[in-house]
């Protein structure tokens, strides 16, 4: 293929023409043949325009080629296409009843996304008549064509279309999963517009059947179901068991199913769900187990049924022995502990002996200390344990030190260690904060530190309603892949949007943030008597006071407010999210 020759004789077949075009575009070396390409394209235009015009003579075999050709040309040179009136040709194609016209639909959708001229964009407006025509064509298209039609219809829904749902619902019986999902999307959108209170039960069965497909399709279906369940929880409420995790499901399917299980939990089925979650705690995959255990804990907290069930477990033996042996599982351990301890008093707990070497991991030690601090009232030998940890304070890693700081009753001792001898600035800061808090307003300190932790983990964060709406209609099809990846369940998407007030509080300065992060109880006043009172605190004139003057008082107030606000509403994720960061 040399430049400058008359190429028209070389490509009698239109198909080959655009094939070549595409390959050329894909493989072109910029430094090498850019001029050649330009020349070639110019030459090609001269050929193509009459060719395509000639194709306007209706030849059935070329119909689909024509459509695709226009789309490709548009991709290369949008203005050419729009100027030369090819878009008219495309619209003409749509009027053709040939099912191959499908490609015209796809082409038009793509072109309208990137339309350069206003006339082009207008010309591609959809009318109710066109939509009806497309829906009629559904019967005669291949499965792929049906997906395109349904997607196009979902994107460009006109305002009134009462017939739409009826015409589309037979598609729910198609063998191709993509057709089913696109049909569900269209019907959901219609329902939103026309009948927000309808229950759309007919979508339930097809969605469940999708879970018998290949794992990747299960995954996409589950992501969609997750969104649907948030929007319309009643649709799948009878189908809880379908989301029970199977041993051989791939990890991404397991995590999604777990998420949906949690969302579908209600008073009626919570006993089943709890039993099922307990089974999951013995699986091998740590992330999955952790999520299941946390879910178990948070659900159980909301149900008295769960509490009764748990009381049956004797103190010191945890329902999930497997958990204990896994060092990383220690983190989850701290979540599971509450469910035991709330009912039971642990007489004399020997974590070190019981758990053996897992305590070598600093993370595990940190968790252990957190547990001790949190439930100091319920562990009789808490003070001994903590003291033993404190002895090695200087040697401990930062995380452990942080934990100790927050847990320990020996406030003064720990604080002085932290503020004067520690190297880590975080540690020092936190020491100062507590000191300052306690000195200015012990009552506020108590309120902040002892505040009720809000329930629920980030596992079941709900999407902000507006975003959820947008995700579902007009177009929530598997969501963008990015949503999958950035945060399960779109959690990160929610974070990205504005309007989450607690987040702002978190951003208001590091010191305030540190306060927000307080989870453990200091519990001055509970526990052993005879400890030095916390009144031995540096005065305002000291260096510490100056350091903390910056935004402490404001911080304390906002923190207290944030905690109060957070505990007032369940299902708010940010506070716990931050707390978890801290306990890492």
Nearest-angstrom CA–CA distance, 399 and 386: 15
Least gap, CB of 391 to another protein (angstroms): 28
Nearer to another protein, 56 or 533 (CB): 56
Convert residues 244-283 into a mask of x (bound to another protein by CB under 8 A) and - (unbound). x-xxx-xxx----------------------xx--x--xx
- Which structure tokens are listed for 287? 């992330």
Nearest-angstrom CA–CA distance, 327 and 294: 16
Contact 418, 401 (CB under 8 A): yes
Nearer to another protein, 227 or 562 (CB): 227
Phi, psi of 14 (to 5 degrees): -60, -35
Nearer to another protein, 322 or 510 (CB): 322
Contact 478, 224 (CB under 8 A): yes
In whole angstroms, how large is the CA radius of gyration of the chain?
Answer: 32
Nearest-angstrom CA–CA distance, 134 and 154: 12
Provide the residue count of the chain.
584
By CB under 8 A, the count of residues binding another protein is 98
Which of 48, 181, 277, 310 contacts another protein by CB under 8 A? 181
Which of 284, 395, 530, 539 contacts another protein by CB under 8 A? 284
Could you say which residues in the range 353-412 bind another protein, by CB under 8 A?
Answer: none
Nearest-angstrom CA–CA distance, 474 and 40: 42
Could you say which residues in the range 207-236 bind another protein, by CB under 8 A?
Answer: 208-209, 212, 214-217, 219-221
Which of 68, 258, 368, 449 contacts another protein by CB under 8 A? 68
Nearest-angstrom CA–CA distance, 271 and 1: 73
Nearer to another protein, 269 or 397 (CB): 269
Nearer to another protein, 50 or 170 (CB): 170
Which of 326, 382, 451, 579 contacts another protein by CB under 8 A? 326
Among 153, 168, 148, which residue's Cα sits nearest to residue 67? 148
Angle between helices 30-55 and 14-27 (to 10 degrees): 160
Angle between helices 552-568 and 574-583 (to 10 degrees): 120
Could you say which residues in the range 447-466 bind another protein, by CB under 8 A?
Answer: none
Least gap, CB of 188 to another protein (angstroms): 14
Least gap, CB of 92 to another protein (angstroms): 17
Using rule CB under 8 A, residue 584 touches another protein: no
Among 292, 291, 300, 232, which residue's Cα sits nearest to residue 271? 300
Convert residues 474-503 into a mask of x (bound to another protein by CB under 8 A) and - (unbound). xxxxxxxxxxxxx------x--xx------
Which of 130, 178, 229, 258 contacts another protein by CB under 8 A? 178
């Amino acid at each position: 293929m040399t430049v400058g020759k008359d190429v028209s004789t070389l490509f009698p077949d239109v198909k080959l023409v655009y094939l070549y075009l595409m390959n050329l575009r894909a493989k072109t070396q910029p430094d090498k043949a850019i001029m050649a390409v330009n020349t070639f394209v110019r030459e090609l235009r001269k050929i193509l325009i009459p060719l395509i015009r000639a194709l306007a003579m209706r030849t059935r075999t070329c119909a689909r080629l024509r459509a695709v050709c226009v789309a490709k040309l548009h991709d290369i040179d949008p203005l050419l296409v729009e100027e030369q009136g090819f878009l008219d040709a495309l619209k003409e194609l749509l009027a053709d009843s040939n099912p191959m016209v499908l490609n015209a639909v796809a082409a038009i959708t793509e072109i309208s996304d990137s339309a350069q001229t206003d006339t082009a964009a207008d010309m591609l407006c959809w009318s109710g008549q066109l939509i009806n025509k497309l829906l009629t064509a559904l019967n005669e298209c291949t499965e792929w064509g049906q997906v395109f039609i349904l997607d196009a219809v979902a994107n460009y829904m006109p305002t009134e279309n009462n017939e739409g749902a009826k015409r589309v619902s037979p598609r729910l019986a198609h063998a191709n999963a993509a057709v089913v999902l696109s049909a569900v999307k269209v019907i959901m959108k219609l329902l939103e517009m026309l009948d927000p209170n309808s229950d759309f039960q007919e979508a339930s069965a097809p969605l469940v059947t999708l879970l018998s497909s290949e794992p990747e399709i299960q995954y996409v279906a589950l992501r969609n179901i997750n969104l649907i369940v948030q929007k319309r929880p009643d649709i799948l409420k009878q189908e809880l068991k379908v989301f029970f995790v199977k041993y051989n499901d791939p990890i991404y399917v397991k995590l999604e199913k777990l998420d949906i299980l949690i969302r579908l939990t209600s008073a009626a089925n919570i006993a089943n769900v709890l039993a099922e979650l307990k089974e999951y705690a013995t699986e091998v995959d740590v992330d999955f187990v952790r999520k299941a255990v946390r879910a178990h804990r948070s659900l159980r907290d909301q149900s008295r049924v769960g509490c009764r069930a748990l009381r049956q477990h004797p103190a010191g033996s945890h329902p999930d022995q497997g958990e204990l042996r896994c060092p990383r599982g220690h983190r989850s351990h701290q979540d599971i502990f509450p469910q035991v301890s709330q009912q039971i008093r642990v007489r004399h707990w020997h974590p070190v002996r019981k758990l053996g070497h897992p305590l070598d991991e600093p993370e595990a030690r940190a968790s252990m200390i957190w547990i001790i601090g949190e439930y100091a009232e319920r562990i009789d030998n808490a003070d001994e344990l903590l003291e033993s940890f404190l002895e090695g304070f200087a040697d401990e890693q930062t995380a452990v030190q942080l934990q100790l700081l927050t847990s320990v009753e020996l406030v003064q001792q720990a604080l002085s260690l932290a503020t004067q001898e520690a190297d880590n600035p975080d540690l020092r800061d936190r020491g100062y904060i507590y000191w300052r808090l306690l000195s200015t307003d012990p009552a506020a300190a108590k309120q902040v530190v002892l505040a009720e932790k809000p329930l629920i983990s980030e596992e079941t964060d709900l999407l902000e309603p507006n975003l959820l709406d947008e995700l579902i209609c007009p177009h929530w099809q598997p969501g963008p892949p990015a949503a999958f990846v950035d945060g399960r369940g779109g959690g990160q998407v929610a974070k990205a949007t504005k309007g989450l007030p607690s987040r702002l509080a978190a951003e208001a300065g590091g010191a305030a943030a540190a306060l927000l992060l307080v989870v453990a109880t200091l519990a001055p006043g509970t526990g052993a008597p005879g400890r030095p009172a916390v009144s031995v605190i540096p005065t305002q004139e000291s260096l510490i006071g100056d350091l903390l003057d910056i935004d402490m008082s404001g911080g304390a107030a906002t923190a207290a407010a944030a905690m109060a606000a957070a505990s007032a509403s369940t299902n708010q994720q940010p506070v716990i999210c931050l707390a978890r960061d801290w306990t890492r």
